[in-house]
Amino acid sequence: MPSGAKHPAAVDLVRCQIEYFVELARASSYIASTLSFATQREAIAESFSEFMECHGAQDFSVFVELLARRLEERRSPEAARAVRQDLRLQLSVAL
């Protein structure tokens, strides 16, 4: 979780794991399968954009945290860090 950002509540994590199960599976697979830094960034940006387009911003930060955790479970810690870093960039742009 980015410094300065609130940790999602456990109830939100559980709810979003269930509600966005398919999106989390697809995005984590897509991001973890990238072979270069550039394609990883593109996959992250596309995953973020698709989520926002389909679901809006309300659960976005929870989705991102869950996505990072899924990537860690897939043994892709660099991808998880990149996802969290991109969330920080999104938050700084929004402010």
What does the alpha-carbon distance between residue 31 and residue 44 come to, in Å, rounded to a whole number? 6
Is 1 within a domain? no
What does the alpha-carbon distance between residue 51 and residue 9 come to, in Å, rounded to a whole number? 20
| Number of domains forming the structure of the chain | 1
Q: Which residue has 């990537």 as its token pair?
A: 71
Q: Lowest mean pLDDT of 32-36, 40-44, 67-71, 83-87, name the range.
A: 83-87
Is 37 within a domain? yes
Is 3 within a domain? no
Domain of 41?
A: 10-94
Is 4 within a domain? no
Is 2 within a domain? no
pLDDT digits (tens, 9 = 90+) for 10-30: 999 999 999 999 999 999 999
Of 82, 75, 72, 2, residue with least CA distance to 38: 82
* pTM for the model: 0.85
- Regarding predicted confidence, which is higher, 79 or 7? 79
